[in-house]
Each structure stands twice: as structure tokens, then as C-alpha cells.
Amino acid sequence: MHQLFKTREKLSYNVLYQDIGRRDYDETWNLQEVIFKKLVDCKLKKNLTDHQNETDCTGTLIFVEHPHVYTLGKSGSENNLLIDHIQLQAKEARFVKTDRGGDITYHGPGQIVGYPIFDLEKIGIGLKEYIFYLEEAIINTLLEFGITGSRLDGATGVWLDPDTKGKARKICAIGVKASRYVTMHGFAFNVNTDLNYFNYINPCGFTDKGVTSLERELGDKQDFENVKLLVRENLGRIFDLNWIN
């Protein structure tokens, strides 16, 4: 791992893993909000008096696939959506404004969307480190397929050939929200994603960079469940997570 940040003390963090399959974006956002509120409320309580409070204080990692949807971050521009609402309906897609960071991106079938709802203080890191470690987990996953993922200065996410003009392409987008060091929203990793849907936006606000997927880079569809397992394992190792039932 890069030594951009000072070595942190290993603080094992209890996390509940939820793979909820394919769910509507709004439904999953609401689920995140409930878990997020419980975790923030837990931090505000001086004394934990029962088992339920202990449970509320654990982290949660949600894995999900969404039906076709474009989401816009709070700092993004709606002009980066290149089709109107009638055309959206024709593509069986939706458009949602969110409270995460970042600009516009696409979610859809064949994409691993991960929503970590973590207390960063319990892990012992700040927000910049958190994003760095999310990127690192995807970079490590790509290495298991013989692909070198990298970072791009001035942009979050994981890229391939970021410094090569005309070849830079994003394989994983990241957009998060944090309050009281509790996170929500997260990352979207293109595995078997239909990349044609990115043609209707300026992905993450960029007009001169492309997108890609594991399928495109390797030439055939990938075992989606296996990729999810690898991403989960890498997140667990990098953040020192203790999975609970």
C-alpha cells in the first residue's frame, strides 16, 4: 500500500455485511439513511446500556445492483446529463439528485455498488484516507485479474492508464458523504456493466476521459459473485474489518 498516510494503529472494526441483490436506488438510499442515523445516534450517546445499542454501533457494508439510474452529486452539474427525461424513459433509466460528493455517474446491472456505513473514528482514519483505502481495495481486486489500476490526480475513483492521453478510462467511481465521521454512499465498480449507458452523460463531469469494465478489459463476462467476494475480502483486509452475523 502507498505510504501517502502515516501508518495507523490497527483497530479491528465490527461490520455487518448485507448483499441485498438488485434494488431500486431510492429504496437503498432510504436503507442507508436508517443505518446511518442509528450509527450517528450511537456516537451521541454517552453510555451504552443494552445489547441493541451495541448493535446500532456496528458498521454496515451493503452490496447492491441497481436498475438503470443516473445519480448526480451535490457539487455536480445537471448539464452533464446529455439526454432529456423522455429519452431517459426510453432507456428505462431514472435520474436522481443525491447528497453525496462528486458529479454525475451511472448505476446499473452488472455493476457492484458498495455502500460502507462506517464510523471512521473507530477505524482510526480521516475522510481522505477512507477514500484512498476504498480505491486501494479496488486496485488490489484488479491486480488479481492482472489489471493495473491507478489513481488520477484531482479525481477520485480507480482508473486505467490515467496518464496516457486518449486512453484514460475509469473502472470504479467513488462518491461519499460523511457526518460526524460516519460515512454513507460509496463506490460503483464496473464488472459486466453495459457501458453504452455512459454515452448519455459526461461521466463524473469529464468530457475527455472514458469508462471501462472488467468484462471489456478481459474480453468476456466475469463471475459476478466471485468478483464481489474478492472486493469484500480486500475491503476487509485493508480496513481490518471483523465480519459479524
Cell numbers standing for residue 214: 472488467
Q: Is 146 exposed, middle or buried (0-12, 13-18, 19+ CB in 10 A)?
A: exposed
Catalytic residue among 42, 57, 172, 204: 204
DSSP 185-226: EEEEEESS--GGGGGGB-GGG-SS-EE--HHHHHSS---HHH
Distance from C-alpha of 202 to C-alpha of 155, rounded to nearest angstrom: 14
Distance from C-alpha of 12 to C-alpha of 122, rounded to nearest angstrom: 8
Cell numbers standing for residue 195: 457501458
Does 204 qualify as catalytic in the annotation? yes
Q: Which residues contact 83 (CB under 8 A, 6 or more apart)?
A: 91, 200
| Distance, C-alpha 205 to centroid of its chain | 17
Cell numbers standing for residue 73: 452529486
Catalytic site residues? 204
